[in-house]
Amino acid sequence: MQIQQAATGGPQTLAGPKPRTAALLSVIPGFGQYANRRYIKGTIFLLLAAAVGIALSAPIVNGIYGLITLGSNPETDDSRTLLVEGIIAVLLLALFTSAYALNLRDAYRDAAKRQEGLRIPSVRQAFHDSWEHGFPYFVIVPTFMLLTMIVIFPLLFMICLAFTNYNLYNSPPAHLLDWVAFDNFAALFTEGVWTKSLLAVLTWTVVWTLVATSLQIALAFFLALLVNDARVRFKKLIRTVFILPWAVPSFMTVLVFAAMFNDTFGSVNRDVMSIFGTSVPWLTDPTWARIAIIFVQIWLGFPYVFTLVTGVLQSISKDWYEAADVDGGSRWDKMRFITLPHVLYATAPLLIMQFSYNFNNFNIIYLFNKGGPPVPGQSSGATDILISWVYTLTFDQNNYKMAAAISIIMGLVVALFAFFQFRRTRSFREEGMY
Amino acid sequence: MGRTLKSRLEVAGIYLVVLIMFAVILYPLLWAVSISLNPGTSMFSSKLIPDSLSLEHYKWLFYDPRSDYVLWYKNTIYVAVLNALFSVIMVGLVAFVFSRYHFAGRKNSIYAVLLMQMFPVLMGMVAIYLLLNLVGLLDTFAGLIIFYVIGGLPMNVFLVKGYMDTIPRDLDESAKMDGAGHLTTYFRILFPLVRPILAVVALFTFMAPFMDFLTPRIILRSPEKFTIALGLFSFINDKVGNNFTMFAAGTILVALPIAVVFLILQRYLIAGLAEGATKG
């Protein structure tokens, strides 16, 4: 170390402390900066550290203590609040630890610079520099703090809940919660009702996602091809009507559909099915309910894909088809070798997003039939997908622990999906370009 | 001769399919309109073609002292405007930084945002409720707006970043060369160029509160603070058949303006979406 300094630094190397010494002094924030003769910066660091230490060390320690015990006295402690405060304490601790690490690094770097004989910028200069070079952080850091509170914190909370015994019968403020390790997951995979429900919901979630999305894409593609035919007139009118289901808020159309499919007084049975002299139990029979809900999703979802495909179809150059005509290609050939590749290439990312959208399509499932009809011997309804089941467990049955455990399973599925999506996303392939 | 006949048959077939689709699409919409015009409040007695048309439900929504409809509408517009405003400001800046700056941790932060976009916000609803309760933002518009802006941020950032990436970097680099600061570069050079996609973001974020009933249901408690979707849902949540006519009337008054705006803007919407998706 010393030899190296002597070799590179020259006579002025003695101007300040060794980088390592400065970093060591900064164990108390600011002292290393003092040693570097950066008095204003050192004072700011010292004051900040003191303020944080005095004001927040007690809450952080209490928070983490509360997180571990989840309260000891049911009359004064609310385990949920303790859990929230505990997670916030852990997040704050992580934040301050990284700030502390930055303080050490700062002292080390400044000392290193001094030893190399570089002039260290004044505080004012440093402020200007930090705006100039640190601009991205001024935007990103606050954004991430907010995202942490609104997106990450709730996920952490949910993960914690999965390892507690929080349900309707054991809920704060009357009772205290306890950590139960993997009991909830064990119940999910061994207890009859839960295993049966989980299997049923998983199966239906997969079937629902694949069938509803594929059918809505297939119908959209088929219709877009038909309407794009050169012989068809009134194209604009047809397209406008076809977009209507997308334009009307789906929240409302689903509720209208729910009323229309009502077994006793819904208009589907009264006006349409009565023509054939039958009446179908749309909302009370599992199979019919599933058929109805897939139908409604196709109705709601095809216009988006239709519009996308139409846009691509219009942009395919006519030369391709003329060339195919010259070569004697049949209609099917043109479709297979020109139209399909063009459309798929341009819309594939959006089509994949449709699948993940339907996987999480809570609105239609819940609003149409609240996941029902109920199935005997199961905690979930016949049309419940994972997310709607979680919602029902949380807000209707107050079975928070199981809802949280199922959420984690769902999170794993999402993460797996995300992993594959990442590798396909173009942003990342182009990342090296800038 | 056989060829033209075949062609005619094909065209007829296409029109037949289109007509069937028209019927399937329009039937529920017209049904909702006709319900809203039926006299009486019960869905049991209503008919597709009512014996007599009546506007009583629309009048009830606006003039009956028991109806909070106008209030809900006002609440929703308030939330929607602020949501759109803050979203556009934040999304634009974050996308600008992601698209234009090299900084340590850039790639990881983009990964983080991408990952956050994947998880449905609904999964953490209990926590959101407790958190807002803890900081006293439960049952306030501020809590709802913060939740909307931040919750929608990841997805919107990617939409805008994808669009921004397609704009040549020479433009803002030459502005930097001429001494423009970070914010000047953004507001004077890039902002005008990305206005189309920011308009899409503004539209989406403006429309979200009109259609979302779930978030307000968890955050808002008092009926005088309800947004329109939540209010309408409360009409039919308790007793399905009974208030359905009022619900239908209230729904149509929301759906109509949204549908009109949507149909007018859809061309730009699609272009913006396709651009963001394929390039992002």
Q: What is chain B's Cα-based Rg? A: 24
**A250: nearest CA partner in chain B:** B211
How high is the pLDDT of residue B116? 81
Contacting residues of B for A259, CB less than 8 Å apart: 43, 236, 240, 244
Of A310-314, A348-352, A422-426, the least confident: A422-426
Rounded distance, CA A19 to CA A366, Å? 61
Instruction: Measure CB to CB from residue A244 to each of B29, B116, B151 and give the nearest one.
Output: B29
Cis peptide before A173 (omega within 30 of 0): yes
Concatenate the DSSP letters of all residues of A25-72 into one string.
Answer: HTTSTTHHHHHTT-HHHHHHHHHHHHHHHHHHHHHHHHHHHHHHH--S
> What is the pLDDT averaged over residues A37-54?
85
Residue partners of A195: CB distance under 8 A and separation at least 6:
A188, A189
Contacting residues of A for B254, CB less than 8 Å apart: 249, 252
Confidence of residue B274 (pLDDT cuts 50, 70, 90): low
Is pLDDT larger for residue A289 or for residue A347? A289
Cβ-contact B227, B75 below 8 angstroms:
yes
Does position A385 have pLDDT exceeding 90, yes or no?
yes
Contacting residues of A for B31, CB less than 8 Å apart: 256, 260, 267
Distance of CA B153 to the CA centre of its chain: 14
Does position A53 have pLDDT exceeding 70, yes or no?
yes
In chain A, the percentage of residues whose pLDDT exceeds 90 is: 18
- Indicate yes or no: CB of A243 within 8 angstroms of CB of B266: yes
Is pLDDT larger for residue A32 or for residue A290? A290
Which residues numbered 200-259 in B keep a CB inside 8 Å of some CB on A? 207, 210-214, 229, 232-233, 236, 240-241, 244, 247-248, 251, 254-255, 258-259
**A312: nearest CA partner in chain B:** B274
Here the tokens at position B66 are: 């028991």
- Indicate yes or no: CB of B94 within 8 angstroms of CB of A84: no
Q: How many contacts (CB atoms, under 8 Å) link A and B?
A: 238
- Indicate yes or no: CB of B32 within 8 angstroms of CB of A349: no
How high is the pLDDT of residue A43? 86
How high is the pLDDT of residue A107? 84
Residue A105: strand, helix, or coil: helix
Confidence of residue B275 (pLDDT cuts 50, 70, 90): low
Query: Chain A: nearest CA to B63, how far in angstroms?
Result: 23
- Indicate yes or no: CB of B106 within 8 angstroms of CB of A252: no
Contacting residues of B for A158, CB less than 8 Å apart: 123-124, 126-127
- Indicate yes or no: CB of B130 within 8 angstroms of CB of A157: yes
How high is the pLDDT of residue A4? 42
In chain A, the percentage of residues whose pLDDT exceeds 70 is: 92
Q: How far is CA A282 from CA A27, A258, B159, in A?
A: 70, 9, 39
The pTM of this model reads 0.81
Here the tokens at position B253 are: 């008054």
Question: Which of A84, A105, A150 best tests the B interface by mutation, with the highest count of B CBs <10 A?
Answer: A150
- Indicate yes or no: CB of B150 within 8 angstroms of CB of A161: no
How high is the pLDDT of residue A121? 67
Cβ-contact A164, A177 below 8 angstroms:
yes
Does position A8 have pLDDT exceeding 50, yes or no?
no
Confidence of residue B234 (pLDDT cuts 50, 70, 90): confident
Instruction: Measure CB to CB from residue B210 to each of A249, A390, A411 and give the nearest one.
Output: A249
- Indicate yes or no: CB of A252 within 8 angstroms of CB of B102: no
Cβ-contact A380, A201 below 8 angstroms:
yes
Instruction: Measure CB to CB from residue B103 to each of A136, A255, A394 and give the nearest one.
Output: A136
How high is the pLDDT of residue A310? 86
Point out which residues pair with A164 in neighbouring strands: A179
Find the DSSP H helices in A327-392. 331-334, 340-359, 362-369, 386-391
Rounded distance, CA A169 to CA A171, Å? 6
- Indicate yes or no: CB of B123 within 8 angstroms of CB of A154: yes
How high is the pLDDT of residue B242? 64
- Indicate yes or no: CB of B24 within 8 angstroms of CB of A238: no
CA dihedral A106, A109, A111, A115 (to 10 degrees): -170
Query: Chain B: nearest CA to A254, how far in angstroms?
Result: 10
Does position B173 have pLDDT exceeding 70, yes or no?
yes
Which residues numbered 145-164 in B keep a CB inside 8 Å of some CB on A? 146-147, 150-151, 153-154, 158, 161-162
Rounded distance, CA A84 to CA A94, Å? 16
Does position A70 have pLDDT exceeding 80, yes or no?
yes
How high is the pLDDT of residue A216? 94
Rounded distance, CA B272 to CA A294, Å? 29
Of A23-27, A388-392, B136-140, the least confident: A23-27
How high is the pLDDT of residue A430? 46
Question: Which of B5, B119, B148 best tests the A interface by mutation, with the highest count of A CBs <10 A?
Answer: B119
Rounded distance, CA A402 to CA A393, Å? 7
Contacting residues of B for A427, CB less than 8 Å apart: 110, 158, 161-162, 165, 280
Query: Chain B: nearest CA to A267, how far in angstroms?
Result: 8
How high is the pLDDT of residue A3? 41
Confidence of residue B13 (pLDDT cuts 50, 70, 90): very high
Concatenate the DSSP letters of all residues of B71-129 into one string.
Answer: HHHHHHHHHHHHHHHHHHHHHHHHHHHHHH---TTHHHHHHHHHHHHHS-GGGGHHHHH
Phi and psi based region of residue A44 (left: phi greater than 0; alpha: psi -120 to 50; beta: remaining): alpha
- Indicate yes or no: CB of A426 within 8 angstroms of CB of B280: yes
- Indicate yes or no: CB of A84 within 8 angstroms of CB of B130: yes
- Indicate yes or no: CB of B270 within 8 angstroms of CB of A307: yes
Cβ-contact A115, A13 below 8 angstroms:
yes
Query: Chain A: nearest CA to B267, how far in angstroms?
Result: 9
Contacting residues of A for B25, CB less than 8 Å apart: 241-242, 244-245, 299
How high is the pLDDT of residue B280? 42
How high is the pLDDT of residue A423? 67
In chain B, the percentage of residues whose pLDDT exceeds 70 is: 88
Confidence of residue B21 (pLDDT cuts 50, 70, 90): very high
pLDDT (tens digit, 9 = 90+) per residue, B109-147?
888 887 787 777 777 777 888 888 888 888 999 999 999
Hey, is the C-beta of B6 within 8 angstroms of any chain A C-beta? no
How high is the pLDDT of residue B241? 53
